[in-house]
Structure 1
Amino acid sequence: MSDLFSWALAPFSACACSLTLGALVLILLLFLLSWRGRVKRRHGARGPFPPGPTGWPLLGNLPQLDLHHLPQELMRLSKKYGPVFSVRLGTTKVVVVSGYKTVHDALLRHGNEFCERPVYPLIENNGLNNGVLWRRGEGHRVLRRFTLTTLRNLGLGQRSIEEHIIKESSFLLQQIGHHEGEPFEPFDSLNSAVANIICSMLFGQRYEYDDEKFVQLLHLLNEDFVLLGNASAKVYNFCPFMHYLPGSHQKLVANVGRIIKFINSKMNQHLYAESKLTPEDYIDAFLMQGAEQKNNDETLYSKGTLTLVLHDLFGSGVVTTSTTLRWALLLMVTHPEVQSKVQAEIDEVLGSCHPTMEDRERLPYTNAVVHEVQRYANILPLGLPRATSSDVNFLGFFISKGTYIIPLLHAVLRDENYWTTPYDFNPSHFLNNEGTFDLPAAFLPFGAGPRLCIGEKLARVELFIFFSTLLQNFSFEAPPGHPLPDLTPIDGLACGPKGYDLCAVRR
């Protein structure tokens, strides 16, 4: 009976198998047609995705890259795959644009398409994505316009801010003079001088160089710029499950909390500003703008936003400029012949008169040295990360909206097509045959386009005045019996020099 039953059902079982097999074949055909369509669209009018090395499952190219020397690694890959290529960091596809022409095209000619910020877990998980530096969308443009306008109203680009920097440089000279030619680490002095300029604009206040709480706060800011860009951070940002594991990202959380606490204390002292007629600093201006829009439920000008904007402006306004100045003094120690030429030019042109921005044309060599310090120091070699704000066809490749972009500034400031000795410290990069200052197109330490550094103008004034004033008054040397300091940078978001001691000898 059972045999008879099996025989009776056999045609139906065969039919079921045929149907199942047919369904699988149909699904496979549909998949292949769909895949072919996607490939055709991707490689058709819109172009292919940028090429790059084959990665590991889940980890992508992370195991194949030296994350401690990522800028150099990406330059190596660009020689193989071209000026536009891709890497996979974890499960995230990243497009790298390398070399002056390519970066210029991306950030300027296609500036609107390359102006967004990607989701950056270390920033997002610390609540810092709603300031002005890391914010995405229209909110960034609104806050950027407000910030630039407010800083101009507070003296940026005017003689008043220059006079303030000149005054602060006199305090810096006194602080360095206290060492009486004995070895010291210039880190704290330079940090405090630069910080006092931005503090006066943001908080309406300056601090003494021996204020321990303030000095400690500046250490936290500098440490954060290392933590945001070291090898551990690079892995964390593309493998965010590490959030629950111990590591340097936990230290960043603690640092940010302490800095925010300081900023909130400054902000709370200004709450009366809503009734002022004229703002005296950035906090005043922001609170007054918020008071005007208090009935707007969607206003950006909340006190929570102000805290994060202040964090962005305070951190970026201090660390990048002070780091560049630390490189400047280090390079004068290791290149005494350059230091002597700067001092001879200042002595001949200015004598004992204090340097000003008007003197730049009369001090072409000094101006060239300041710019070469920025180029050589290369403190933001990966730039700040970008993302595409829309689908874009770029140099024959199709890059979809939201793609993570690395504008490789390291490859711009080391581009052999524009710098005769890209890996050497050479002020002649900024001098023409007549010995006058000449600015090459490939000088992009501040980035370019809609995300150009907000503090570019302020940094230019600070760097020239602080540097020329210091060399007018001191000669900087390695401590007697000590080898010359190491020029290997520290890995981080802002790549500063390793700690070093020097002697400042009065001239």
Structure 2
Amino acid sequence: MEVGSTTCLLLITFIFILLLMNVRKVFQKGKLPPGPTPLPLVGNILQVKNGNIVKSILKLRDIYGPVFTMYLGPRRVVVLCGYEAIKEALIDHGDDFITRGSLPSFERFGHGYGITVLNGEQWKQIRRFSLMTLRNFGMGKRSIEERIQEEAQYLMKELRKTKGSPFEPTSALVHVAANIILSITVGMRFDYEDTTFNTILLNIVEAFKIMSSFWGQLYDMFPKFMIYIPGPHRKMFKLLKYLEDFIEGRVNINLETLDVNSPRDFVDCYLIHKQQLNTSTKSDRMNLVITVMDFIIGGTETITTTMKYGLLILMKHPDVQEKVQKEIDNVVGERSSPTFEDRLTMPYTNAVVHEIQRFSDVAPLGGPHSVTRDIPFREFIITKGTDIFPMLTTALKDPTYFNDPNNFNPEHFLDDKGNFMKNEAFMPFSVGKRNCPGKTLAQTELFLLLTSILKNFHIKSLTDLNELDLTPIESGFENLPPPYELCFIPR
């Protein structure tokens, strides 16, 4: 009995110490931006309604302004809203905000490796190498653009098989996006019926659903606690282990068949680079595997969602579809495939592709940053160890830069003469030194895939256009289009 009482007393003491430590951490704010008062341990979790962190943050912005502090569990976060605040942090003071913030899910399935979560010199080296490799890939046997054009033709073949019947496009788009990034990273393309290929894709999709769910959000808020709690969040790491093992196997095959004079893919380029430096280590090998994994996940999920949203938008706006097709006919003509260079003489189509990215707002939160020392910012002091959430959605829908931010309008990227016009608040890939390294690849892919589809097909809705809803499905960290079917009518 005495042992039980002692254990109970120790447990109460331990909880009291944790609460005290958290209270001291919360109220030693200094000059942090204002925000809602957090509760011990759980922070502002009660303000995250229905697990929708994006909507909850936007409601807090309406109360506290464009720069405010909140706590996701014990994790202190300063939120930046609007183009000006994000630009001031990530561009004007980019070196102070260059560190990647906490990403517990990514850190666990990537074992702390890979371009997404790395910091310091390791991150600089692998980012520099990745940008250089993707930029110079056209000097090899097949350029990135040729790989995209090739896969676009496989997609056209799949769409012709539908013969204009109602069709749900997700599976076809996932296969196309995945094959493109797999071709670039590991030099492979799969038949759409391949069992290994479909297992990889199903695992990625399911893992991301869990990651964006309330369970996934709880894991990112309380990782040290949630590893002991049963739930679907534990499944996402098992799902992604299959992809890691697949990439590890491909790296081994590339090592056995490597020709230093003829690199076939990103993996070859990395292996040759490390051989030239004579610095290959176990850490280098893991960084390669997880960086390729990061590229495959990002290059599949984001492109698929944006493309799916794009088709829904074009179905909702047949007048836009018609104008794009007219421009394609005038510029591409009888050529079998559009080129990325065509965008320079297709200002309306270029504007539509940009507006699809802006309106779809696929990654509203962006990636978290962090500060490693006390940083003066506006009239505040952002204290060491604070994570930064640059809310990209608030830049993409900033009314100062987009006069009709909540509606789809290609005029956002056209001047009064109909020429394509850049907009500095357009940042779906984030901005600054930690922006998405696959930005150019994604832009090329979206332009070539959308123009290839519209060159060959009319997109037709099954329902009245007034009933088509563009409102995204509520999700934790990603905006997903509502489910739909459409018909691809050959032109």
Give the TM-score taking structure 2 as reference length: 0.88
Matched, 1:284 2:268: yes
What CA distance in whole angstroms lies between the structure 2 residues aligned with 1:93 and 1:157? 46
Q: 1:190 aligns with which of 157, 173, 176?
A: 173
* 1:315 aligned residue: 297
* 1:19 aligned residue: none
What CA distance in whole angstroms lies between the structure 2 residues aligned with 1:316 and 1:492? 16
What CA distance in whole angstroms lies between the structure 1 residues aligned with 2:298 and 2:367? 11
What CA distance in whole angstroms lies between the structure 1 residues aligned with 2:471 and 2:372? 38
* 1:84 aligned residue: 67
2:366–2:390: 8 Å Cα contact kept in structure 1? yes
Segments of structure 2 that go 5 or more residues without pairing to the other structure are 1-23
Residue 342 of structure 1 deviates from its aligned partner by 1.5
Give the TM-score taking structure 1 as reference length: 0.86
* 1:29 aligned residue: none
What CA distance in whole angstroms lies between the structure 1 residues aligned with 2:267 and 2:183? 11
Q: 1:372 aligns with which of 338, 352, 355?
A: 355
Q: Secondary structure at the match of 2:288?
A: helix
* 2:144 aligned residue: 161
* 1:470 aligned residue: 453
Distance 1:442 1:134, change over 3 A: same
1:327–1:497: 8 Å Cα contact kept in structure 2? yes
1:304-351 Cα shifts (integer Å, max 9, x gaps):
222111111111122111211111111112222221221222223333
**Size of the alignment, in residue pairs?**
463
Q: 1:449 aligns with which of 432, 435, 457?
A: 432
Task: Decide which structure has the larger Cα Rg and report it.
Answer: 1
Q: Secondary structure at the match of 2:338?
A: coil
Residue 67 of structure 1 deviates from its aligned partner by 5.2
Q: 2:326 aligns with which of 344, 348, 373?
A: 344
**1:35-46 → structure 2 map (5 Å cutoff):** none
* 2:482 aligned residue: 498
Identity percentage of aligned residues: 38
1:373-396 Cα shifts (integer Å, max 9, x gaps):
000100110001111133211112
Residue 365 of structure 1 deviates from its aligned partner by 1.3
Distance 1:272 1:345, change over 3 A: same
What CA distance in whole angstroms lies between the structure 2 residues aligned with 1:89 and 1:157? 46
Given residue 438 of structure 1, which amino acid in structure 2 is its aligned partner?
Answer: M
1:97-128 Cα shifts (integer Å, max 9, x gaps):
11001101111111111111223322233244
Distance 1:234 1:372, change over 3 A: same
Could you say what the CA RMSD is over the residues aligned between the two structures, in angstroms? 2.4
Q: 2:412 aligns with which of 411, 417, 429?
A: 429
* 1:175 aligned residue: 158
Matched, 1:395 2:364: no
Distance 1:84 1:432, change over 3 A: same
Q: 2:402 aligns with which of 400, 414, 419?
A: 419
**1:19-418 → structure 2 map (5 Å cutoff):** 48-66=31-49, 68-155=51-138, 160-240=143-223, 241-273=225-257, 276-294=260-278, 299=281, 302-353=284-335, 354-418=337-401
1:478–1:501: 8 Å Cα contact kept in structure 2? yes
Residue 252 of structure 1 deviates from its aligned partner by 0.6
1:349-384 Cα shifts (integer Å, max 9, x gaps):
333333222221322111111001000100110001
2:114–2:286: 8 Å Cα contact kept in structure 1? no
* 1:12 aligned residue: none
Residue 139 of structure 1 deviates from its aligned partner by 1.0
Segments of structure 1 that go 5 or more residues without pairing to the other structure are 1-34
Residue 156 of structure 1 deviates from its aligned partner by 8.7
2:100–2:368: 8 Å Cα contact kept in structure 1? yes
Q: Secondary structure at the match of 1:407?
A: strand
Task: Please say which of residues 482-491 and 48-57 is displaced more in the overlay.
Answer: 482-491
* 1:24 aligned residue: none
What CA distance in whole angstroms lies between the structure 1 residues aligned with 2:481 and 2:374? 39
Residue 130 of structure 1 deviates from its aligned partner by 0.7
